[in-house]
Amino acid sequence: MYPAGFDLAASAYQEMMREGFHPDFSPSIRNQLAAIEARPTEISRNSLRDLRDVLWSSIDNDTSRDLDQIEAAERVSNGIRVLVGIADVDCVVAIGSPIDQHAASETTTVYTAVRNFPMLPEALSTDLTSLGEGADRVAIIVEMVVSSEGSIGSTDVYGALVRNKAQLTYSGVGAWLEGWGKPDTKVGSSNELASQLKLQDEAATALRNQRYRLGALNFDRVETSATIRNGAVESIAGMKKTRAHDLIEDFMIAANETIAKTLKVKSVPMIRRVVKAPERWARIVELAAGYGEHLPAPPDSGALNAFLERRRAADPLHYPDLSLAVVKLMGPGEYVMSRPGADDQGHFGLAATDYTHSTAPNRRFADLVLQRLVKATVAGQGTPYSEDELNSIARNCTLKEDAARKVERAMNKRVAAVALRNRRGETFDAIVTGVTPKGVFVRVLNPPVEGRLMRGEAGVDVGDRIRVTLLATDPERGYIDFGR
């Protein structure tokens, strides 16, 4: 057992406060929420298309209730028309209101294994502004025609009334899309829904292949999933992406690019999502050389992806290790304010010159801001934010995203420390994930947990594969110590 009285949920709250978050909702927020629930915001339906008869569906995690997107598709003469519906949070949360001010400060929902800390009150994010099954909702529609080669032709962005007909999960449809598992009950009982998802998968596959041809990176990372009941950690295991994850990711990338390009064409200042060329490109080149491969001296996403694909084919078992190392060496993304006509950096990992975050307004403030910019542009109105305001928002979103990663990483370590408490002295395969002034950090491959290398750290670098022994765990501090 971990120390008596140690509360993982309380620890998560303390970690949030330590990193500068204020997760509690104020009385003014509760008052605004009560007013919204008592008298829902009146929406003018005259300017909205009625798309409630469309066979919309959503795919998300098993426990997700804050549903930001729904999807639909139909075959047309020049390809597949893809519709992505994004929850219209702005129609309920006014700029400058107490809820909006709180969201602007927090900027993101923080997910930990033991407790989630929502950016918006759950009565909104999991109900009134969530695209849950069977509910009539207002959404921003991103419409794209995807050719058989994966290029995006005509696009449109507009508001509509929608109704999610099938709330699905990655676990329920992922294996079925891959051809080896049984479908979700809803899918299995509806030929129309099954055909719809197959068509979405066809469009998503075309989009994905086109991105890779343009040089986007194809990573294969293993995420950690903990089983926790009544506050007790029962197990921790790896969870790999499925084809259902890919489908949603492909559609969201395409929708985000479409939103960015729409605002760019209209010469509207906006917030972009960028990932700069890796500062540690030389180490990536060195990693490739260790496999007998050559990468050019200047950063080149196309050459990197070609190398990664060759390694995936040659050694699929250890490819996630290489993916993790490259991700760490690339560094995190950031939000930047973009002026009309500016030649801004793009997204290195996606090989995209125009990219933003706009598809998760229930969970990220940057997306809510982009939604407001899009709605104002579509309506022919002036921008609701000045360039100075957008610059300030972008900086705060980047800072809080970094802080959220620290919270999630700290809590993952605490949960892992509890899960490994009885395995001291065992040896594990690991990969070096960080070499910093604070120490050398490694990720054990099975179970997929991170810790610090306390012994034998000399001479190792990011990407090295080593054997480590578990020396000690400290759940309260989130310490997992390994040695060689």
**pLDDT tens, position by position, 178-220:** 999 998 999 999 999 999 999 999 999 999 999 998 888 887 7
Which amino acid is residue 379, in one-letter code? A
Q: What is the pLDDT of residue 43?
A: 59
Asked whether 89 and 371 are in contact (CB, 8 A), the reply is: yes
Q: Can you give the C-alpha Rg of the chain in angstroms?
A: 23
**Cα dihedral 289, 295, 296, 298 sign:** negative
Average pLDDT, the chain: 91
Distance from C-alpha of 417 to C-alpha of 452, rounded to nearest angstrom: 12
Is residue 238 scored above 90 in pLDDT? no
What average pLDDT does the segment 244-263 reach? 96
Give how far Cα 44 sits from Cα of 41, 48, 385, Å: 10, 8, 23
* pLDDT confidence tier of residue 2, bands split at 50, 70 and 90: very low
DSSP H/E element including 152: strand 152-169
**pLDDT tens, position by position, 72-105:** 999 999 999 999 999 999 999 999 999 999 999 9
Largest CA distance in the chain: 68
* pLDDT confidence tier of residue 275, bands split at 50, 70 and 90: confident
**Cα dihedral 313, 319, 324, 326 sign:** negative
Q: What is the pLDDT of residue 455?
A: 94
Q: CB 241: neighbour CB atoms within 10 A?
A: 15
Give how far Cα 379 sits from Cα of 47, 48, 159, 307, Å: 9, 11, 10, 46
Q: What is the pLDDT of residue 292?
A: 94
Is residue 1 scored above 50 in pLDDT? no
Is residue 240 scored above 80 in pLDDT? no
Q: Which residues pair with 161 in a beta bridge?
A: 50, 138
Strand bridging mode 110-111 / 116-117: antiparallel
Q: What is the pLDDT of residue 186?
A: 95
Which pair of structure tokens corresponds to residue 86? 């994004």
Range with the lowest mean pLDDT among 64-68, 220-224, 269-273, 338-342? Answer: 220-224
| Residue 53 main-chain phi, psi, to 5 deg | -85, -10
Q: Which residues pair with 430 in a beta bridge?
A: 444, 466
**Pick among 3.40.47.10, 3.40.640.10, 2.40.50.140, 3.40.30.10: CATH of 424-483:** 2.40.50.140
Asked whether 324 and 445 are in contact (CB, 8 A), the reply is: no
Is residue 322 scored above 90 in pLDDT? no
Q: What is the pLDDT of residue 5?
A: 53
Q: What is the pLDDT of residue 56?
A: 98
DSSP H/E element including 83: strand 79-87
**pLDDT tens, position by position, 137-147:** 999 999 999 99
Is residue 42 scored above 60 in pLDDT? no
Which residue's entry shows tokens 């909205």?
Answer: 48
Domain boundaries, the chain: 12-275+347-416, 281-331, 424-483
**pLDDT tens, position by position, 365-411:** 999 999 999 999 999 999 999 999 999 999 999 999 999 999 998 99
Is residue 41 scored above 60 in pLDDT? no
